[in-house]
Structures are given as C-alpha cells and as structure tokens.
Amino acid sequence: MKKALILGVSGQDGSYLSRFLLEKGYEVIGTSRDVQMSSFPNLVRLGTYDKIRLESVSLNDFKSVLQVINKHKPDEVYNLAGQSSVGLSFDQPMETFESVSIGTLNLLETVRFLGKPIRIYNAASSECFGDTDAHAADESTPFHPMSPYAVAKAAAFWQVANYREAYGLFACSGLLFNHESPLRPKRFVTKKIVSTACRIAAGSKEKLMLGNIAIQRDWGWAPEYVEAMWLMLQQETPDDYIIATGESNTLEDFIGEIFSCLNLKWQDHVEIDNDLFRPTDILTIKANPDKASKKLGWTARHKMRDVARMMVEEEMVTHTAA
C-alpha cells in the first residue's frame, strides 16, 4: 500500500485529492495548521474524514515539517498548503509569501535532508504567467506575476525546479488554471456568484456586487484536476505541467451561464462596485495544456458551462436541504 501525505488537506483540492487517493488504495495522511481547531467540513462532506490520519503541521516551521515526514515516511507528498486567495494576498503579502514560498522551501529541504525517495507535487498557479493577452501560455512561457500571491507561487515554482536539478529530487509543479467546485470558499468570486444567484432565484431581492467582469479565465472542474496531480508523480521522470481546459471565457460569460441555469437574466441582478477592483489584475489568461495531454494522458472532461451547471445544481440541493 502506497502512503501519501497531503499538506493542506482541508481545502478544495486537498479534500478531493484525499478521496481520489483513497479510491486508489493509498494510506492517506492529511495536515492542517491546527487539527484540534478544525472541523474539516470538506472532508466530512466527501466522506473521507474518518478514513485518513490527520496531523497538525506548520509549513513555515522546518522542524514541524521534518517531524511529520520522518514519522510517516510517505511515498508521495502533495504540497497544497498556504494562503490561496489572490485578492487576500494584496492585504496580506507577507503572510502569503511566507506560507507559500518559505513553506515550499521547508518541504524540499526536509526531503533532501532525509535522503528518502519521496516524490513531491507542488501546487503552482496560472497566476505566475500574468496577462497572456492573445497568447496561450505553455510550460515555456515566461512568468510575469501581478499579485503577491503570484510572486510567492513563482518563487516556489523555481525552488522546486532548482531542487530537482541541483539535488535530484523527484519534484513536480502543476501550473493549474482556475478550477472550481462546490467546495470553493465563499471568498472566491465563482462561489460568491453561484451562492448569490441561487438566493436570488429563491426570492432574495439582493444585488450581486462584482468588480471587473471583463476578465478572462480558463475554468475547469476541480475533481478532475487532482487526478493530474497524481499522474505527475507516476511518471518515470519529474517535470512541470500546465493543467487547464484550453478554453477561456470572460467572467461575464460565467455570470450569464449561472443565471441562465436559474432562468434569470443576469443584467437585472448584477451591479459593478469599483471598490472590488484589484490594484493590479490579469485581464486575459489562456492556456495550452497539450503537454499534459500528450505525456500524462490527461484532458479536461468538463469546461466552463459544465462547471457552472454543476455548481448551481449542487448549490440548489444544499439550499433546499437547509
């Protein structure tokens, strides 16, 4: 039985990954900053809470990381921990950089120090590329990070590449483009749109307040993306991959699809709030996921319109149950 350690198991990706690996027959250990203080609602929702072992780990503390890896001796480590909100990173740049970059460095140094054949997956981000304009980014596209979050993720990406090349670690980074699910926290705009639209459909008179709806993103389905993470660690040699659908849409398109699923006209319920615009924001980002398709055999099965429909369906079930 293979053993996997998921750093940051309580989030969207960590929760889906825990379920995926359990289905593959893995023994799964998951970490959070403070296990005693968390109720792990995502794990409970997916039915994995009582099937994995949970440990408290501070990724910013080298000793903490060393102890948990030395204790469990995993075959694979998935680094999904750290501050994950682009918007919040503008308010908390120091916390964001430390949790993402320093945390990743502690993990890499721990594996190097122990000298064990542990395979590492690192969660990088499409945000590293910045605005790609009409160009679809591939793995050779230069980085141009435009937020504290993106800067931190770019630094972590190059740390992983350096440890792979300099020390021979089996370490990969997944440059994941936007991927959504019902497990998204409320601070993410997609979840905000879906939740508010469903309340409006149920009779609420509120308005959906948004910032720049002209931005373009590549939206995929999170449960599919965790499979790509696993596939990276099953290859003969470590490498970095873009994981995306290859289709970009505007936020306005996403909004329209959500409201259309509810038989509503979005223009009647949405207002633009200039205070919600970010100091710097990526207008357009496009992806070329051909490498993942050719080398991993992975291709996104669901695109934006599927994602919108599935999120609305799940939200309406939750709303009805409540």
- Grade residue 133 by pLDDT with cuts at 50, 70 and 90: confident
Mean predicted confidence (pLDDT) in 230-244: 98
The contacts of residue 259 (CB under 8 Å, 6+ apart) are 197, 265, 266, 269
- Grade residue 207 by pLDDT with cuts at 50, 70 and 90: very high
Q: Is residue 53 part of a domain?
A: yes
Q: Is residue 258 part of a domain?
A: yes
Structure tokens at 225: 């993306």
How long is the chain? 322
Mean predicted confidence (pLDDT) in 136-150: 94
- Do 227 and 128 sit in the same domain of this protein? yes
Average pLDDT, the chain: 94
Backbone CA torsion sign across 52, 55, 59, 62: negative
Residue of 76, 127, 180, 257 marked catalytic: 127
> What is the pLDDT at residue 322?
54
- Do 148 and 39 sit in the same domain of this protein? yes
Structure tokens at 72: 């469990």
**Better-scored residue on pLDDT, 83 or 203:** 203
Q: Is residue 64 part of a domain?
A: yes
241 is catalytic: no
Q: Report whether pLDDT(259) > 60.
A: yes
Q: Is residue 292 part of a domain?
A: no
Mean predicted confidence (pLDDT) in 222-231: 98
Closest CA to 225 of 290, 180, 170: 180
Q: Report whether pLDDT(321) > 60.
A: no
- Grade residue 264 by pLDDT with cuts at 50, 70 and 90: very high
Q: Is residue 234 part of a domain?
A: yes
- Do 89 and 58 sit in the same domain of this protein? yes
- Do 124 and 196 sit in the same domain of this protein? no
- Do 144 and 197 sit in the same domain of this protein? no
Structure tokens at 77: 């480590």
Q: Is residue 291 part of a domain?
A: no
> What is the pLDDT at residue 275?
87
Q: What's the rounded Cα separation, in Å, for the pair 11 and 156?
A: 19
Residue of 121, 149, 163, 241 marked catalytic: 149
Mean predicted confidence (pLDDT) in 290-316: 97
- Grade residue 90 by pLDDT with cuts at 50, 70 and 90: confident
Q: Is residue 34 part of a domain?
A: yes
- Do 133 and 264 sit in the same domain of this protein? no
- Do 21 and 90 sit in the same domain of this protein? yes
Mean predicted confidence (pLDDT) in 155-175: 98
Q: Report whether pLDDT(84) > 80.
A: no
- Grade residue 44 by pLDDT with cuts at 50, 70 and 90: very high
- Do 115 and 156 sit in the same domain of this protein? yes
- Grade residue 320 by pLDDT with cuts at 50, 70 and 90: low
User: 194: domain range?
Assistant: 185-217+247-285+302-321
- Do 70 and 198 sit in the same domain of this protein? no
- Grade residue 107 by pLDDT with cuts at 50, 70 and 90: very high
> What is the pLDDT at residue 276?
86
> What is the pLDDT at residue 292?
98
Mean predicted confidence (pLDDT) in 110-125: 96
What is the number of domains present in the chain?
2
Task: Count CA within 13 A, CB hemisphere, residue 81.
Answer: 30
Q: Report whether pLDDT(261) > 70.
A: yes
127 is catalytic: yes
The contacts of residue 9 (CB under 8 Å, 6+ apart) are 15, 17, 18, 30, 31, 32, 40, 43, 52, 54, 80
49 is catalytic: no
Q: What is the domain-level CATH number for residue 312?
A: 3.90.25.10
Q: What is the domain-level CATH number for residue 51?
A: 3.40.50.720
- Do 32 and 166 sit in the same domain of this protein? yes
- Do 251 and 103 sit in the same domain of this protein? no
> What is the pLDDT at residue 68?
96
Q: Report whether pLDDT(127) > 60.
A: yes
> What is the pLDDT at residue 250?
96
- Grade residue 287 by pLDDT with cuts at 50, 70 and 90: very high
- Grade residue 35 by pLDDT with cuts at 50, 70 and 90: confident
Buried b (16+ CB within 10 A) or exposed e, 24-52: eebbbbbbbbebeeeebebbeebebbeeb
Q: Is residue 293 part of a domain?
A: no
- Grade residue 166 by pLDDT with cuts at 50, 70 and 90: very high
Mean predicted confidence (pLDDT) in 32-51: 91
**Which residues, listed in sequence order, are joined to residue 172 by a DSSP beta bridge?**
121
- Do 198 and 68 sit in the same domain of this protein? no
> What is the pLDDT at residue 281?
77
**What is the pTM (predicted TM-score) of this model?**
0.94
Q: Report whether pLDDT(280) > 80.
A: no
